[in-house]
């Protein structure tokens, strides 16, 4: 008898405690910038696509929901011809972001992706590519890599010596 | 066998190997770069360091390069000693100092030996903060991409390209940390084996340019074991697919056949599979036009033709045994014709008969070990390319043997080369024109086919006087024959090679007589005959009737329906003849994968599978039956030719059609029908084969994108396709253990992502794959039976006035039908021409490039003249398989006139 009354009392007291549940969607919770929500593809500081179609996110993905096809522009810059994420499979683990050597693929704090039709959860590059650098400003893979692209010749990447002179005989 | 101790564990090793090979052979992980199993050691990279100890009491030990250290009995070795581990980490750190930050955009990534070795050596953080050395790249042609920044100066490329393959237009340049590997200037790499640099170079300096057009990482490729479709040697390959297109070919090791290397036609010819000219659905003629029809309708029509009257079938040397057999079953053995010219048919029949009587056809490995070789009338590089690379190694055997006597191990590559200097062992090349082996030949002989045969018969007669004498041989030729005979006689393991190049039965017979004379003298002679197509020998073994008789049958009205199997008849006979054959038939059914002149004439066209979408068995020129497997299921209505034919047989309620459910049933039927082909059953395990209850996955364990690659079509993943025909599955699930060699879809093991992982699959380094190499040899003449001589010495060749003997000149790029549809190969193919010797051209008053009229029986054409200084007088050459006269069987006498 005593224990029943005690339980009723405790429940009653809880009504006066502060609430944790928020009135979503009227009230939005704070999600940190590193929250693992909707995935985007970002651009480098020059406004070019960051993704170099290296397939590392795809291999890292434990549910295999990323696929892409690599291609190159006429100057040798590699980028994805198409890039697809099947969000109906994605578990938002963030392993793709961790694997990405260019900071192209990033998880964002947007979680509002509900769809009535599962097919609409298949995102193509047009749906993924944003216009900014996302969480990582500054980094541009191509400025570090040794491959020649438009406006960056051999020897012009960071910490590169000018191309070797093949006719030198100096020891 | 010797015993060595590595990190206190005992191992039995082959004392002829070096320490690196011994360690790798036992599955121990020891990093290396410059050593190559086929090219030996030079000790250039210092990566394979280990410690060896004098005795049990020696605690310090000394660091040596494993690849340069011979095995000694009871040797004490350590790979794991901390000091030597540090040493290796230091070496790789040095090699990586200027390495570019390229892995994400490097085509080698994911199958890079440098990545693997870096991880294995424990170098994982860049400490070097200074400027990196950079290089400019070169344009090297349509096959290879060059990215010199990635070079670690291991020298493997130049050792392969220059020393192993005999290339002249490439090499190391400059000095110290600027050593550069390339050509003197931009340009197409000339060597026919340049594609091997993709696999030989441990980094991404040389990568496959055709793969780059549709790049996919190794881990994303669905792969299957297949057999090269571009000549009769049957090199083993691995083909990889992604998103329904074929992406690339890499070597699949087979110690008896291709070893570690392929030719460029085999590696880069695959793109015919992706051609826009692929036939993708059944078509039927309506109002003169071919229009797509559903599969069921196509089968109905086909079976209605069968009811309408007599049917003849024309087989193909580029189709599997099973496809040819299904056709033969449909039309009946008496109506089954060879889809090759009558002359080629006769020659092939002769070659088969010769090989059956002996000496048995040699494997490439056997040829490689020959210490003297005679190439009689064969342009090996352009007909059976991989064999040319093999023959090039024969000139080193004498010196390898000598080195061994001087106690220099065979793998001590540069020591052996120093010993030999520029000297080569005996190699004799007789051919109407210059060949790509002439640079290592001891002597060459330029003559018309009949004179080449006479030289061969003369050699045979000198070796054994019981063989026929050659009357009226000019003194210099006789003297040359003496020298050749002497060299072959003195050799311990002579080789004799001939083949289809000259189109001459006499030449092949002469070669056989030389080989028989040597065999009679007790020599283990390596005898090989080069043939053109994937299943040339297999077709001959099915005993089809000659094509000419098909025409007669059609003329008699005995061929209401002609069924053409994967064959462009316009390449086999003059256009008039083919037109007559097709015109005489009421119905023409063609099964093929690519549009061509013959498919245009079809009333009913059925889409069949190119090699990457097909299953089947082929017989190589070595008489080796090998099974190839589809890489991905053929899309839409496309299916194997044998399946189309089995379906028709089924509709006709013929017993075969009802009993043939999968490939195994056909294999069984072929084996039962032809005793000579009985052993094809053993070419690969049956479709019911399982390892631990599971099939063997075609997709690597890292295959990505499974829930996304088809999500644009439908978000729910489809069930993976079934494969009723083989023990391979179209998934990544399956037994994680090693399958039999014939079913090995790719080489890959833990920590060894590159093709170098093949080390882990061999019984011993450079030995057979564990469990035996793929394929079974079908032609083994009874031991002890000494076949007689062929006694058919032709008369000497006499040039005619105003007429030339027009011989065929094969081209590695362009002469073969399928690879010519691959854009990269097409780019390297020559334009049609006619070639004459310098004197003949002068007597005609024509200069290089002049337009001349070539008039042959069966057709004439205006072609630019090419002057080939070596061509004998009275002999002209036309490129085989390309140009307007490709249907005319050569050699043939014809007129050549200067057009005014
Ligand atoms: S890991 Fe990054 S760069 Fe590589 S394919 Fe994925 S998004 Fe692109
Ligand atoms: S060669 Fe290997 S290590 Fe170097 S960039 Fe390419 S993948 Fe990376
Ligand atoms: S190009 Fe490749 S094979 Fe040649 S030295 Fe450099 S790393 Fe070695
Ligand atoms: S030699 Fe012949 S079988 Fe071998 S890769 Fe070349 S074309 Fe293919
Ligand atoms: S592999 Fe031994 S030194 Fe290079």
Give all strands of the β-sheet with B443-446 in edge-to-edge order. Answer: B443-446, B427-431, B372-376, B494-499, B526-530
The tokens for B349 are: 């029949």
User: How crowded is residue B555: how many other Cβ atoms within 10 Å of its Cβ?
Assistant: 12
Centre of ligand 4 to C-alpha B391, Å, is 14
Q: Would you state the pLDDT for residue B742?
A: 96
Task: Output the pLDDT for position B52.
Answer: 97
CATH code of the domain occupying B804-898: 2.40.40.20
Q: Is B133 in contact with A161 (Cβ distance < 8 A)? A: yes
What token pair was written down for B77? 């070795």
3-state secondary structure of B575: helix
Q: What percent of chain B has pLDDT over 90?
A: 94
Encode pLDDT of B261-284 as tens digits.
Answer: 999 999 999 999 999 999 999 999
Determine whether the shortest distance from the Cβ of B154 to ligand 3 is under 6 A.
Answer: yes
Q: Is the pLDDT of residue A50 over 90?
A: yes
* Contact yes or no for B387/B380 (Cβ under 8 A): yes
* Amino acid B560: pLDDT: 93
Q: Do B708 and A168 touch (CB under 8 A)?
A: no
What is the C-alpha to C-alpha distance for residues A152 and B381, in angstroms, rounded to an integer? 42
Fold entry, domain B2-95: Ubiquitin-like (UB roll) (3.10.20)
- The Cβ-side half-sphere exposure at A129, using a 13 Å CA radius, reads 17
**Which ligand is the nearest neighbour of the Cα of B47?**
5
Residues A147, A76 contacting (CB under 8 angstroms): yes
DSSP codes, A58-117: HHH-TT--EEEEEEE-TTS-EEEEEEEEETTT-----HHHHH-TTS-EEE-S------SS
Q: Which atom of ligand 5 is nearest to the CA of B32?
A: 1
Half-sphere exposure of B26 (CA within 13 A, CB side): 20
Q: Do A52 and B103 touch (CB under 8 A)?
A: no
Q: Which atom of ligand 3 is nearest to the CA of B201?
A: 3
3-state DSSP helix/strand/coil % of chain B, to nearest 5: 35, 20, 45
In a 13 Å sphere around the CA of B675, the CA atoms on its Cβ side amount to 0
Q: What's the rounded Cα separation, in Å, for the pair A131 and A148?
A: 24
What residue's CA is closest to ligand 1, atom 1?
A100
Q: Which residues of chain A make contact with B247, given a CB cutoff of 8 A?
A: none
Do the Cβ atoms of B818 and B478 come closer than 8 Å?
no
**Which residue has the least CA distance to atom 7 on ligand 1?**
A105
Ramachandran assignment for A166, one of left (phi > 0), alpha (psi -120 to 50 degrees), beta (any other): alpha
Q: Is A72 close to B212, i.e. CB distance below 8 A? A: yes
The whole-angstrom separation of Cα A93 and Cα A160 is 36
- Beta strands B144-146; B206-208: pairing state: antiparallel
For residue B557, the model assigns a pLDDT of: 87
Nearest Cα residue in chain B from A141:
B101
**Reported ipTM:** 0.93
Residue range B250-261: mean pLDDT, rounded: 98
Torsion of CA B259, B265, B268, B274, to 10 degrees: -120
Does B704 contact A169 at a Cβ distance shorter than 8 Å?
no
Ligand located closest to B39 CA: 5
> Which residues does residue B51 pair with via DSSP β-bridges, in sequence order?
B63, B78
The whole model's pTM is what? 0.95
Judged by DSSP in three states, B374 sits in: strand
**Cα gap B358→B783, rounded to integer Å:** 9
Question: Which two tokens mark B773?
Answer: 């190499």
Report angle CA B118, B121, B127 to the nearest 5 degrees: 65
Q: From the CA of B215, how many Å to the nearest CA of chain A?
A: 6
Per-residue confidence (pLDDT) for residue B308, from 0 to 100: 81
Best probe residue, ligand 1, of A90, A104, A124, A142 (max atoms within 8 Å of C-beta): A104
Tens digits of per-residue pLDDT, B318-365? 999 999 999 999 999 999 999 999 999 999 999 999 999 989 999 999
Could you tell me if A145 and B99 are in contact, meaning their C-beta atoms sit under 8 angstroms apart?
no
Q: What is the pLDDT of residue B737?
A: 76
Residue A91 has pLDDT above 70, yes or no: yes
Residue of B nearest to A118 (CA): B715
For B618-680, the DSSP string reads EE-TTSEEEEE--SSPPPTT---HHHHHHHHHHHTT-HHHHH--SHHHHHHHHHHH-GGGGGG
CA distance linking residue A137 with residue B631, whole number of Å: 43
DSSP-based three-state secondary structure for B782: coil
Task: Give the mean pLDDT of B176-182.
Answer: 93
CB–CB contact B214 A72 (8 Å)? no
Please report the pLDDT score of residue A5 as a whole number: 94
Is 90 exceeded by the pLDDT of residue B738? Answer: no
CA distance B729 to chain A (A): 19
Task: Judge contact between A137 and A45, C-beta under 8 A.
Answer: yes
Contacts (Cβ under 8 Å, ≥6 apart) of B576: B858
Residues 6+ apart with CB under 8 A from B512: B354, B498, B527, B790
Q: Which of A86, A146, A162 sits opposite B102 (nearest CB)?
A: A146
Å between B200 CA and nearest CA of chain A: 22
Q: Kind of pairing, strands B587-592 and B526-530?
A: unpaired
CA of B266 to the centre of ligand 4 (A): 5
Separation CA B847–CA B867 (nearest Å): 8
CATH number of B346-537: 3.40.228
The answer to whether residue B438 scores a pLDDT higher than 70 is: yes
- In this predicted structure, the answer to whether residue B734 has a pLDDT above a threshold of 90 is no
Q: Between A and B, how many residue pairs show a Cβ–Cβ distance under 8 A?
A: 140
Closest CA to B134 of A79, A152, A76: A152
Q: Is B115 in the pocket of ligand 2 (CB under 6 A)?
A: yes
Query: What's the pLDDT score for residue A19?
Result: 83
Q: A164 to chain B: which residues are within 8 Å by CB? A: 133-136, 174, 178, 180
B869 — pLDDT class (breaks 50, 70, 90): confident
* Contact predicate B466/B410, CB 8 Å: no
Residues A154, B707: C-beta atoms closer than 8 Å: no
Ligand number, closest to the Cα atom of B264: 4
Asked if the Cβ–Cβ distance from A54 to B109 is below 8 Å, we say: yes
Between strands B696-697 and B624-628, the pairing is unpaired
Testing the interface with A: which of B205, B711, B714 to mutate, by most A Cβ within 10 A? B711
Q: Across residues B852-873, what is the average pLDDT?
A: 94
Contact (CB<8Å) B704/A66: yes
Report residue B809's pLDDT band, with 50, 70 and 90 as the boundaries.
Answer: very high
In chain B, residues with a C-beta closer than 8 Å to the C-beta of A154 are 134-137, 149
Nearest to B382 by CA among B882, B35, B888: B882
Nearest CA distance, A108 vs chain B (angstrom): 20
Interval B729-750 mean pLDDT: 91
Tokens representing residue A65 in the block = 């929901």
Q: Which of A55, A67, A154 sits opposite B135 (nearest CB)?
A: A154
Residue showing tokens 């340069």: B68
The whole-angstrom separation of Cα B418 and Cα B435 is: 27
**In chain B, what residues touch A152 (CB-CB under 8 Å)?**
none
CA distance B718 to B829: 42
Nearest to B840 by CA among B803, B886, B874, B789: B874
CB–CB of A171 and B702 under 8 A? Answer: no
For residue A126, the chain B residues in CB contact (below 8 A) are none
| Spatial separation of the C-alpha atoms in residues A39 and A83, rounded to whole Å | 12
Confidence band for B784, pLDDT divided at 50, 70 and 90: low
Averaged pLDDT, B718-735: 93
| Three-state secondary structure of A44-57 | CCCCCECCCCCCHH
Quote the pLDDT of residue B67: 97
Decide if A154 and B134 are in contact by the 8 Å CB cutoff. Answer: yes
More confident residue, B77 or B421: B77
Chain A hits for B173, Cβ within 8 Å: 166
Is 90 exceeded by the pLDDT of residue B70? yes
Token pair for residue B241? Answer: 């697919």
Which of A60, A157, A158, A166 to mutate against chain B (most B CBs within 10 Å)?
A166
| pLDDT digits 0-9 by tens, B525-584 | 999 999 999 999 999 999 999 999 999 999 898 899 999 999 999 999 999 999 999 999
Instruction: Report the C-alpha dihedral over residues B106, B108, B113, B116, rounded to 10 degrees.
Output: 60
Q: Closest by alpha carbon to B649, among B328, B892, B881?
A: B328
The ranges assigned to domains in chain B are 2-95, 346-537, 804-898
pLDDT above 70 coverage of chain B, percent: 100
3-state secondary structure of B86: helix
Specify the CATH class of A31-133 in words. Answer: alpha beta
Identify the pLDDT of residue B899.
Answer: 81
Question: Domain residues of chain A, as ranges?
Answer: 31-133
- Nearest by CB to residue A52, choosing from B105, B147, B702, is B105
pLDDT tens for B368-377 read: 999 999 999 9
Q: How far apart are CA A63 and CA A65, in angstroms?
A: 6
The rounded distance, in Å, linking the Cα atoms of B629 and B613 is 8
Name the average pLDDT for chain B. 95
Q: Give the pLDDT confidence score for residue A171 in this predicted structure.
A: 74
**Which amino acid residue places its CA nearest to atom 8 of ligand 1?**
A51
A145/B135 CB distance under 8 A: no
Question: Does ligand 1 come within 6 angstroms of the Cβ of A51?
Answer: yes
- Residue from the list A64, A67, A70 with its beta carbon closest to the beta carbon of B215: A70
DSSP letter at B334? G
Cα B195 to ligand 5 centroid, rounded to whole Å: 23
């Amino acid at each position: 008898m005593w224990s029943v009354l005690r339980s009723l009392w405790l429940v009653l007291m809880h009504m006066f405690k502060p609430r944790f549940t928020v009135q979503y969607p009227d009230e939005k919770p704070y999600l940190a910038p590193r929250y693992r929500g909707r995935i985007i593809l970002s651009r480098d500081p020059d406004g070019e696509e960051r993704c170099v179609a290296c397939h590392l996110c795809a291999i890292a993905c434990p549910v295999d929901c990323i696929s892409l096809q690599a291609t190159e522009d006429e100057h040798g810059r590699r980028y994805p011809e198409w890039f697809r994420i099947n969000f109906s499979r994605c578990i938002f683990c963030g392993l793709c972001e961790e694997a990405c050597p260019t900071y192209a693929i990033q998880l964002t704090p947007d979680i509002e992706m509900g769809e009535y039709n599962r097919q609409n959860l298949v995102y193509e590059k047009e749906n993924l590519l944003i216009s900014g650098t996302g969480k990582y400003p500054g980094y541009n893979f191509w400025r570090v890599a040794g491959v020649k692209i438009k406006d960056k010749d051999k020897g012009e990447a960071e910490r590169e010596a000018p191309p070797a002179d093949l006719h030198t005989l100096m020891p | 066998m010797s015993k060595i101790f590595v990190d206190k564990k005992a191992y039995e090793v082959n004392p002829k190997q070096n320490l690196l090979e011994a360690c790798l052979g036992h599955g121990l992980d020891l990093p290396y770069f410059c050593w190559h199993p086929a090219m030996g050691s030079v000790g250039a990279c210092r990566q394979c360091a280990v410690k060896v100890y004098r005795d049990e009491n020696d605690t310090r030990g000394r660091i040596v390069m494993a690849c340069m250290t011979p095995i000694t009995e009871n040797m004490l070795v350590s790979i794991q000693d901390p000091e030597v581990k540090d040493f290796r980490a230091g070496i790789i750190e040095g090699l990586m100092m200027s390495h570019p930050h390229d892995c994400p955009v490097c085509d080698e990534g994911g199958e890079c030996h440098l990545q693997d070795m870096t991880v294995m050596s424990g170098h994982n953080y860049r400490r070097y903060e200074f400027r990196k050395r950079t290089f400019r790249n070169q344009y090297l042609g349509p096959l290879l991409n060059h990215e010199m920044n990635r070079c670690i100066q291991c020298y493997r490329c130049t050792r392969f390209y220059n020393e192993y393959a005999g290339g002249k237009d490439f090499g190391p340049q400059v000095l110290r940390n600027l050593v550069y590997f390339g050509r003197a200037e931009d340009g197409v790499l000339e060597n026919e084996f340049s594609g091997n640099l993709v696999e030989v170079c441990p980094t991404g300096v040389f990568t496959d340019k055709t793969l780059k057009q549709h790049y996919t990482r190794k881990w994303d490729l669905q792969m299957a074991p297949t057999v090269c479709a571009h000549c009769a040697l049957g090199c083993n390959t691995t083909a990889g697919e992604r998103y329904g297109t074929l992406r690339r070919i890499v070597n699949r090791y087979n110690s008896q056949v291709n070893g570690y290397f392929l030719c460029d036609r085999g590696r880069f010819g695959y793109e015919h599979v992706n051609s826009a000219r692929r036939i993708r659905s059944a078509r039927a003629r309506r109002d003169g036009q071919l229009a797509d029809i559903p599969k069921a309708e196509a089968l109905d029509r086909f079976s209605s033709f069968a009811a309408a009257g007599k049917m003849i079938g024309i087989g193909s040397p580029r189709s599997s045994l099973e496809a040819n057999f299904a056709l033969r079953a449909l039309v009946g053995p008496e109506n089954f014709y060879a889809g090759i010219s009558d002359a080629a048919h006769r020659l092939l029949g002769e070659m088969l008969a010769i090989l059956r009587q002996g000496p048995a056809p040699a494997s490439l490995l056997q040829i490689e070990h020959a210490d003297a070789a005679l190439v009689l009338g064969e342009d090996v590089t352009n007909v059976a390319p991989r064999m040319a690379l093999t023959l090039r190694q024969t000139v080193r055997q004498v010196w390898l043997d000598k080195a061994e006597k001087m106690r220099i191990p065979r793998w001590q590559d540069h020591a052996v080369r120093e010993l030999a200097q520029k000297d080569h062992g005996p190699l004799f090349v007789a051919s109407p024109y210059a060949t790509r082996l002439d640079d290592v030949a001891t002597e060459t002989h330029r003559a018309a086919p009949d004179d080449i045969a006479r030289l061969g018969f003369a050699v045979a007669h000198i070796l054994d006087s019981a063989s026929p004498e050659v009357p009226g041989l000019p003194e210099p030729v006789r003297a040359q024959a003496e020298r050749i005979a002497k060299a072959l006689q003195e050799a311990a393991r002579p080789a004799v090679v001939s083949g289809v190049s000259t189109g001459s039965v006499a030449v092949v017979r002469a070669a056989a007589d030389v080989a028989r004379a040597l065999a009679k003298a007790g020599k283990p002679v390596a005898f090989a005959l080069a043939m053109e197509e994937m299943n040339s020998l297999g077709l001959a073994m099915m005993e089809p009737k000659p094509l000419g008789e098909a025409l007669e049958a059609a003329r008699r009205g005995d061929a209401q329906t002609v069924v053409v199997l994967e064959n462009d008849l316009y390449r086999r006979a003059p256009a008039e003849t083919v037109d007559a054959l097709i015109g005489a038939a009421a119905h023409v059914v063609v099964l093929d994968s690519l549009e061509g002149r013959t498919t245009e004439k079809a009333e009913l066209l059925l889409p069949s599978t190119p090699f990457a979408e097909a299953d089947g068995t082929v017989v190589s020129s070595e008489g080796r039956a090998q099974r190839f497997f589809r890489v991905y299921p053929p899309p839409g209505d496309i299916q194997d030719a044998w399946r189309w034919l089995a379906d028709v047989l089924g509709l006709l309620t013929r017993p075969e059609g009802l009993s043939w459910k999968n490939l195994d049933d056909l294999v069984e039927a072929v084996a039962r029908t032809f005793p000579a082909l009985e052993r094809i059953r053993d070419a690969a395990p049956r479709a019911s084969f399982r390892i631990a209850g599971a099939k063997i996955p075609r997709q690597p364990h890292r295959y990505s994108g499974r829930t996304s690659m088809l999500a644009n079509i439908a978000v729910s993943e489809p069930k993976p396709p079934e494969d009723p025909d083989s023990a391979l599955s179209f998934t990544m699930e399956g037994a994680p253990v090693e399958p039999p060699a014939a079913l090995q879809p790719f080489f890959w093991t833990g920590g060894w992502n590159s093709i170098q992982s093949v080390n882990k699959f061999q019984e011993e380094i450079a030995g057979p794959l564990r469990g035996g190499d793929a394929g079974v040899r079908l032609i083994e003449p009874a031991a002890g039976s000494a076949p007689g001589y062929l006694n058919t010495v032709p008369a000497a060749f006499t040039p005619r006035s105003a007429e030339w003997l027009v011989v065929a000149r094969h081209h590695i790029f362009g002469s073969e039908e399928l690879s010519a549809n691959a854009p990269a190969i097409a780019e390297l193919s020559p334009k049609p021409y006619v070639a004459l010797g310098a004197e003949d051209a002068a007597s005609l008053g024509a200069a290089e490039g002049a337009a001349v009229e070539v008039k042959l029986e069966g057709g004439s054409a205006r072609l630019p003249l090419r002057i080939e200084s070596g061509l004998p007088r009275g002999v002209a050459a036309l490129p085989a398989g390309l140009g307007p006269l490709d249907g005319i069987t050569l050699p043939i006498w014809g007129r050549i006139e200067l057009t005014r």
